[in-house]
A and B are shown apart, each in its own frame.
Chain A
Amino acid sequence: MSGAVLELDDLTVRIPVGGGRWVEAVGGVTLAVGASEIVGLVGESGCGKSTLGGAVMGLLPVGSRVGGQVLLRGYDLRGLGEEGYRKIRGDDIALVSQDPSASLDPTYPVGAQVAEAIRNHRDVSRRTARERAVDLLRLVGIPDPRARYADPPHRFSGGMKQRVVIAAALANDPAVLIADEPTTALDVTIQAQILHLLRDLTVRTGTGVLLITHDLGVVAQVCDRVAVMYAGQVVEQGTVREVFARPLHPYTRALLDSQPAAHHRSGDLPVIPGRVPDLTDPPAGCRFAQRCAQAHDRCATAPPEVRTASGGRVACWLHPAPATAEETR
Chain B
Amino acid sequence: MTALLDVRGLVVTFPAPGSGLRRRRVHALSGVDLTVRRGQTHGLVGESGSGKSTLARCVLGLQQPDEGSVVFDGTEIVGLRGRALREIRRRIQPVFQDPLGSLDPRWTVGRSVRESLDAFGVGSPLDRDRRVSELLDLVGLSPDHAGRSPAQLSGGQRQRVGIAAALASGPDLIVADEPVSALDVSVQAQILNLVARLQRDLGVAVLFVSHDLGVVEHVSQEVSVMYLGGIVETGGRAELFADPVHPYTRALLDAIPVPEPDARLVHAPLAGDIPSPIDPPSGCRFHPRCPMRADSCSRERPALLPVASHLAAHHVACPVALAARPQAGPSPAQN
Contact = CB atoms under 8 A, between A and B. Distances in A.
B216 to A, nearest CB: 9
Contact of A221 (B192, B193, B264, B270): B264
A269 B192 CA distance: 8
B249 to A, nearest CB: 11
B contact patch SS: helix
A189 B251 contact: yes
Interface residues of B, number: 42
Contacts of B215: 260
Nearest to A47: B184
A214 B270 contact: no
B259 A159 contact: no
B41 to A, nearest CB: 10
Interface string A180-200: 000000011111110110000
B218 A260 contact: yes
B255 interface: yes
A192 B270 contact: yes
Contacts of A45: 184
Interface stretch (A18-26, A104-112, A250-258, A299-307): A250-258
Contacts of A217: 214, 256-259
A260 B273 contact: no
B265 A255 contact: no
A262 B259 contact: yes
A159 B273 CA distance: 8
B264 A44 contact: no
Nearest to A267: B196
Contacts of B213: 188, 261
Interface string B216-248: 011100000000000000000000010000000
B192 A260 contact: yes
A189 B255 contact: yes
B289 to A, nearest CB: 8
B184 A268 contact: no
B257 A218 contact: yes
B290 interface: no
B48 interface: yes
A39 to B, nearest CB: 14
A193 B274 CA distance: 12
B261 interface: yes
Nearest to B186: A272
B189 A271 contact: yes
A234 B69 CA distance: 54
Contact of A241 (B251, B257, B261, B274): B261
A187 B192 contact: no
A268 B196 contact: yes
Given A159-B273, A192-B265, A269 B218 contact: yes
B186 A44 contact: yes
B258 A220 contact: yes
A216 to B, nearest CB: 4
Given A192-B265, A244-B261, A264-B217, A259 B196 contact: no
Contacts of B258: 217, 220-221, 261-262
A45 B273 CA distance: 29
A17 to B, nearest CB: 17
B254 A192 contact: yes
Interface in B151-194: 154, 184-186, 188-190, 192-193
B211 interface: yes
Contact of B259 (A244, A266, A268): A244
A271 B47 contact: no
A266 B195 CA distance: 12
8 contacts: A44-B186, A160-B273, A188-B47, A193-B269, A220-B259, A259-B185, A269-B192, A272-B189
Pick the 5 closest A-B CB pairs, nearest first: A261-B214, A217-B257, A192-B269, A260-B218, A269-B189
Given A215-B257, A254-B186, A266-B196, 7 more contacts: A44-B185, A188-B47, A189-B270, A193-B270, A217-B214, A217-B256, A268-B196
Interface of B: 47-48, 154, 184-186, 188-190, 192-193, 196-197, 211-215, 217-219, 241, 251-252, 254-265, 268-271, 273-274
